[in-house]
Each structure stands twice: as C-alpha cells, then as structure tokens.
C-alpha cells in the first residue's frame, strides 16, 4: 500500500481566518453584480439604432466582453477558493497518496487531470466542484453573443419632391398658331417615342427614379386614359365585308389591322387603315390619330384567327375599339431602394376627349387647349406604335407582312393578339393589354426618368411636387437575446453557490481555512524526517518530473488531533505489513481504509524507513 504519514496538528484551537472566506464572498457578490450590470447594459441597448448612440459599436462590444470576463474571473476565483477548502477537508478525513494529492491540486491548472475517472468517481463532491470550475469560462463565450447588430425595417414620414411632366404646358404635343388667331394641332413631341418604345419592350412602367430608402406615396391628377371595348355589330359587319373582299383578292388572311375614322366623315362612312383603305391626301397622321370624332378619339383593331388556328369566336372577325377619355387618376407608388418599383393606378373615367378638329368654337391659345393637344399627343404616339397590320399569305412559302411596331417589340402584345385558340375571352384579354400599354406609356412619359434627360430641351419645363411619403429603410439596431444571457449567468451563479456552500461546510467542519499556496504545503509537512527518507537522492530533491513511484504511493493524512488510548495522535510511518490491522468498510464509490492507530505495527527492517524510537508511545508516534 505504501508509507503513511499523519501530518501534525498543533492541538491548540485556533480562530478561523476570515480573510479568505470574505474574499471568496466578495468575488461571488461582485460577479453577480457584473452579471446584472451586463443584463442591464444589453437591455438599455436593445432596439437602439447603432448610428444614433454616442458610444462606438466597438466599445459596446468591448464593454460586454469585459463584463462577461469579469463574471468569469470572479466566479472562478470564488469557486477555486471553495474547491481548495473541499480538498483540505477530504485530506483531513482519510489518508491520500501524494500522487493523488498532486491530482487534486493539479486539476486547477490542467484539465487533463480529469482523465483519472475512477479517482474522481470516488470523490463526487470534488469532481462536481472541478467540473463547475472548468465550465464557468463558458459564460465568457456565450453571454457576449447575446447582443448583436441586426437589420430592422423602420418606417418614418418624409416629404419628397417628385418630378413630373404636367399636362397643359405643351410637353406632349406642339401647337401651331393660325393667321386667324386659332390654334391647330402640330403633332406629338418626338421624345414621347423613347419612353413609349422602352415601356413596350420592358412591358412595364419606366423607372421613376432611385431612392436611398423604400418610399411609398400617392398622387392624384387628371390625365388621359384609354377604354377598350368590343365594337358595335354594324361597324364589325362593315369591316368584315371590307377585309373579306381584300383577303379574297390577295389570297391572304389579315390577322391584325388598325383603323381610324376618315377625316370629314360621319359614322356611316368608311374608316381608313394603313393599306386597305387610304385617306385621299395620303396624310400618315390621319391613319394613326382620330382628329375628327365628336364623341371620343378612337382607334379600331380588327382581329382574325390565323388560317390553321382553332376558333370559337362568335364572328370570324373581332373588332376592338379603344377610345380616349379624360380620367381621374389615383396613383400609388412603391419605390424600392433596389430599383424595383410598383405603380398601382386607380382610374375613374370622367368624360371622353373628342378629336381636336371637331371642337367648336375653334380652339384658342391657352392652358385648356394645350391640355387637349397633350392628350392628343399621347393618343397619336399610342397609335403610332400600335397601328399596322399582320397579314399571312395563303401560300406558306411566302413571308407574312408585319408592320405594327407594338407587335414587333412587345412579346406580351403579340401573344395576346394571336391567341391559340382564338376565343372571345382571349379578345377581352387583348383589350386589357391595350389599356395597360397606354397606361404604361402615359405614366412613363409623365414620371419616367429618361436617359440623358439633362440634354433634352424640355428639362426646364419639368416641375417638382412635394409629396408626403413613408420612408422605409433598414437600420442597424442592437438586438438582445436576454434568455440566453439569463440562463447562462443563472447556471453559473447557481453552481458557484453550490460550491461556496460546500466550502462553508468544509470550513465549519475543519475549523480552519486553507489555501493552495506553496507555504501551506510546506507548513503541514514541516519536520517530517521520514519524508526525507523517501526523497533519497538529488533527482528526487530537484522536484523535476516525473514523480518517483515510491513517493507518489506514500500516503499523507492531515487531520484534527484525536486522543487515542495512549497519547495524542499526530502522524505515523507504516508499511503494507504494518497496516494489516486496518479495518475496512465499503461505500458505493469504493473501499475506504480506517486506520487503527492503537495497534502497534510489526517490525520489518526492510520496510520501515525510520528508526524505532525507544520508549515512544504505541504506534511509532512522532
């Protein structure tokens, strides 16, 4: 079993030194206060924008790390002190090998000492304290991560300036002053073709501009709008007769064609298109803009299925009429900082807009006239891109004829104009597509930001209107996960409390306070000549690793003085033979030796490392 030393106690009652217990409690209380302070700090920062705080974000993180570090250090100090008391309580209760003594103290610095599982299983209280001690640093890892910076959407009211091209200022059409003082229509502004073509290709409204934040706002205005419906039966029959005769003559099928009322004609007279019926003066403008209708400026579209297409329409030719109206617009803007936008119009048709030449009395120079001409300019541009025809020859070897810009550039419009199968429902879809095309063109021309806008001559005529908007943007704010911090600190504090309570019990039982200082070990082993007999050479005395096995197997027993028979027990040296009278008991964690100090050991010169003291009390008392 090895040699046994019972290290001496003075036998004199001593007063407990309270400095170490007080420092343990101070560290514990300070750690709890730092944990509470960390929670309060994070609670105050939760939801606060990073940029609005005077404290730099780095210093906030450093403060949290510092508090977590203080909690860890202070709890480790308190728990380490408590563990030390538990050690000395155990070594005072029963003998312990010097090698095991090294394990008990070495585990404070070397976690690999926990590999001696059997040793720690036999000492569950010390094992629990050590595990708590090594787990406490985790709070310094977990708790700083409970405060982070996240993106949080924030909405604030804002007043923004919106660029627009107002109607009635000649921005969409030109006017010509006649000799008699009247004003006549001079044609659409050429710049309208740019946004119109772009909106056709993209099949959406042009960008109204970029913003650093997401903006939502609304605008109300009066502007032009187109309503597309199915034409009357009489007009449909007339156009069907004209087209059928043309198809028979040319051996082809007119799939798509566009018509406008002929100048100086009434509703019973013919209307013209781009090829079948021409106006007498060959004026192209008269084929894309209705200038004479007294009710509403109108464009007619004739649709027919291709030669090999399925059809369930009521008539072989379907006619759509699109009429120009003055409308009340309520427009909702949703402009994103990414460049995406959604414009949702709500249109209320007020009154139709007649052909300008049919208005009596003749128009005079003024804002109202400019507004009529601006509407006409938009309608002319719409007619310029949508008019034309799609004609499929009867001979499949011949190419088809396609003269409509809209059908050529807009895949959506082309697909809706040539549906398969050809049904009345498909024609209703085409009506909505034509209306949406005019809407996209109108809003793009009014609010769109055009390329190199600064080079256009109408830039000084643009107006800015102040609008109340909601600005939504993401802000970097502090986000505090309080549950994680509270759980971490609570577990650390609770288990530290358990360790401190174990230490208080140990101090009460021992009646003294111990530390893990070198001086403590020196004092409890002073004057032991038998230790000198164990440490026999210079290598042993150097203290260098490894620890000799005979030294590691020697037992040390530090305990209270107890009166046992003859004298006061302080310590003794024995061998395996000399401890044969030991009584043994069993506990769940292993065998515990109970020393019977009243039984003298047998003499064995080969094992006893110290001389027998003549006349000494029984048991080789020192």
pLDDT one-digit tens code per residue, 153-166: 889 999 999 989 99
Q: What is the residue whose two structure tokens read 């395996």?
A: 576
Distance CA(24)–CA(503), nearest Å, equals: 10
Distance CA(295)–CA(260), nearest Å, equals: 14
Distance CA(384)–CA(379), nearest Å, equals: 9
Can you say whether the dihedral through the CA atoms of 500, 501, 502, 504 is positive or negative? positive
Residue 422: inside a domain: yes
* Pair (342, 374) in one structural domain: yes
**pLDDT confidence of residue 110:** 83
For residue 138, give the DSSP letter. Answer: G
* Pair (97, 234) in one structural domain: no
Strand partners, 293: none
Residue 456: inside a domain: no
* Pair (39, 6) in one structural domain: no
- Residue 137 phi/psi, 5° resolution? -60, -15
Please check whether residue 601 is in contact with residue 620, taking contact to mean a CB–CB distance below 8 angstroms: yes
Residue 302: inside a domain: yes
Q: Count of alpha carbons within 13 Å of 547, Cβ hemisphere only?
A: 13
Can you say whether the dihedral through the CA atoms of 337, 338, 339, 344 is positive or negative? negative
* pLDDT tens, position by position, 214-260: 999 999 999 999 999 999 988 888 888 888 888 888 888 899 998 88
Q: Which residues in the chain show pLDDT less than 70?
A: 1-14, 262-287, 308-315, 451-460, 525-533, 537-542, 556-622
Residue 569: inside a domain: yes
DSSP E strand stretches across 99-146 = none
- Locate 547 and state its tokens: 């620890």
**pLDDT confidence of residue 528:** 61
Strand partners, 173: 188
Reduced to 3 states (helix: H, G, I; strand: E, B; else coil), residue 395 is coil
Helix (H) or strand (E) run with residue 374 in it: helix 367-386
* Pair (119, 224) in one structural domain: no
Over the range 516-542, which residues count as b (16 or more CB within 10 Å of their CB) and which as e? beeeeeeebeeebebbeebbeeeeeee
* Pair (152, 211) in one structural domain: no
* Pair (377, 246) in one structural domain: yes
**Looking at 429, 451, 473, which one is the last position of a domain?**
451
* Pair (374, 277) in one structural domain: yes
- The separation between CA 54 and the C-alpha centre of its own chain, rounded to angstroms, equals 25
* Pair (436, 467) in one structural domain: no
- Residues with Cβ within 8 Å of residue 48, at least 6 apart in sequence: 477, 478
For the chain, the C-alpha Rg in angstroms (whole number) is: 50
Residue 457: inside a domain: no
* Pair (183, 119) in one structural domain: no
* Pair (544, 601) in one structural domain: yes
Distance CA(482)–CA(484), nearest Å, equals: 6
* Pair (507, 539) in one structural domain: no
Residue 74: inside a domain: yes
**pLDDT confidence of residue 181:** 81
Confirm whether pTM is higher than 0.75: no
**Looking at 427, 451, 475, which one is the last position of a domain?**
451
Q: Does a cis peptide bond (omega within 30 degrees of 0) precede residue 546? A: yes
Write down the number of H helices and E strands in the chain: 17, 17
- Locate 535 and state its tokens: 């440490």
Range of the domain at 497: 18-164+462-511
- Locate 126 and state its tokens: 């010390």
Residue 225: inside a domain: yes
Query: Distances in Å between the alpha carbon of 73 and those of 24, 65, 83, 138, 318?
Result: 12, 12, 15, 11, 87
**pLDDT confidence of residue 260:** 85
- The separation between CA 253 and the C-alpha centre of its own chain, rounded to angstroms, equals 58
State the total domains in the chain: 3
* Pair (502, 546) in one structural domain: no
**pLDDT confidence of residue 372:** 92
Residue 51: inside a domain: yes
């Amino acid at each position: 079993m090895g040699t046994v030393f019972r290290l001496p106690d003075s036998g004199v009652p001593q007063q407990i030194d309270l400095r170490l217990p007080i420092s343990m409690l101070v560290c514990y209380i300070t750690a709890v206060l730092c944990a509470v302070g960390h929670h309060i700090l994070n609670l105050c920062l939760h939801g606060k924008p990073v940029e609005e705080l005077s404290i730099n974000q780095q210093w906030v993180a450093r403060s949290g790390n510092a508090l977590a570090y203080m909690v860890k250090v202070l709890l480790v100090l308190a728990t380490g002190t408590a563990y030390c008391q538990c050690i000395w309580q155990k070594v005072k209760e029963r003998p312990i090998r010097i090698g095991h003594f090294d394990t008990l103290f070495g585990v404070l610095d070397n976690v690999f000492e926990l590999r001696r599982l059997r040793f720690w299983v036999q000492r569950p209280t010390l094992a629990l304290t050590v595990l708590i001690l090594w787990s406490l640093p985790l709070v310094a890892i977990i708790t700083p991560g409970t405060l982070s910076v996240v993106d949080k959407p924030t909405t604030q009211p804002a007043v923004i300036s919106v660029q627009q091209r107002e109607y009635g200022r000649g921005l969409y059409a030109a006017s010509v002053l006649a000799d008699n003082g009247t004003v006549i229509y001079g044609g659409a502004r050429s710049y309208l073709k740019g946004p119109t073509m772009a909106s056709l290709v993209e099949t959406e409204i042009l960008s109204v501009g970029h913003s650093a934040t997401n903006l939502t706002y609304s605008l109300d205005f009066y502007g032009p709008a187109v309503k597309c419906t199915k034409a009357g039966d009489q007009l449909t029959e007339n156009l069907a007769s004209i087209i059928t005769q043309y198809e028979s003559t040319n051996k082809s099928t007119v799939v798509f064609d566009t018509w406008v009322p002929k100048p100086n004609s009434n509703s019973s007279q013919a209307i013209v298109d781009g090829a079948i019926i021409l106006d007498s003066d060959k004026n192209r403008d008269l084929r894309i803009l209705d200038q004479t209708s007294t009710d509403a400026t109108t464009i007619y579209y004739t649709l027919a299925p291709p030669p090999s297409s399925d059809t369930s329409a009521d008539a072989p030719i379907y006619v759509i009429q699109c009429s120009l109206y003055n409308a009340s617009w309520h427009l909702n803007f949703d402009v994103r900082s990414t460049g995406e936008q959604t414009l949702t119009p709500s249109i209320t048709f007020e009154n139709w807009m007649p052909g300008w030449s049919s208005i009596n009395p003749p128009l005079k120079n003024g804002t109202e006239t400019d507004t009529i001409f601006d509407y006409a300019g938009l309608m002319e541009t719409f007619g310029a891109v949508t008019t034309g025809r799609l004609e499929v020859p009867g001979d499949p070897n011949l190419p088809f004829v396609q003269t409509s810009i809209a059908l050529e550039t807009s895949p959506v419009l082309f697909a809706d104009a040539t549906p398969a199968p050809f049904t009345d429902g498909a024609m209703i879809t085409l009506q909505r597509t034509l209306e949406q095309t005019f809407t996209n063109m109108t809003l793009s021309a009014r609010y769109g930001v055009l390329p190199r806008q600064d080079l256009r001559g109408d830039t000084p005529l643009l107006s800015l209107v102040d609008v109340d908007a909601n600005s939504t943007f993401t802000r970097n704010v502090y986000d505090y996960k309080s549950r994680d911090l509270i759980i971490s600190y609570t577990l650390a504090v609770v288990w530290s409390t358990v360790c401190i309570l174990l230490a208080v019990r140990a101090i009460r039982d021992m009646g003294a306070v111990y530390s893990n200082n070198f001086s403590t070990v020196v004092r409890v082993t002073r004057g032991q000549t038998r230790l000198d007999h164990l440490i026999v050479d210079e290598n042993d005395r150097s203290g260098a690793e490894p620890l000799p096995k005979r030294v590691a197997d020697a037992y040390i027993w530090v305990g209270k003085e107890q009166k046992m028979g003859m004298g006061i027990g302080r310590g003794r040296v024995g061998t395996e033979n000399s401890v044969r009278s030991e009584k043994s008991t069993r506990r769940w964690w292993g065998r515990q030796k109970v020393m019977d100090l009243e039984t003298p050991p047998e003499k064995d010169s080969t094992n006893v490392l110290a001389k027998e003291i003549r006349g000494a009390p029984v048991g080789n008392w020192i």
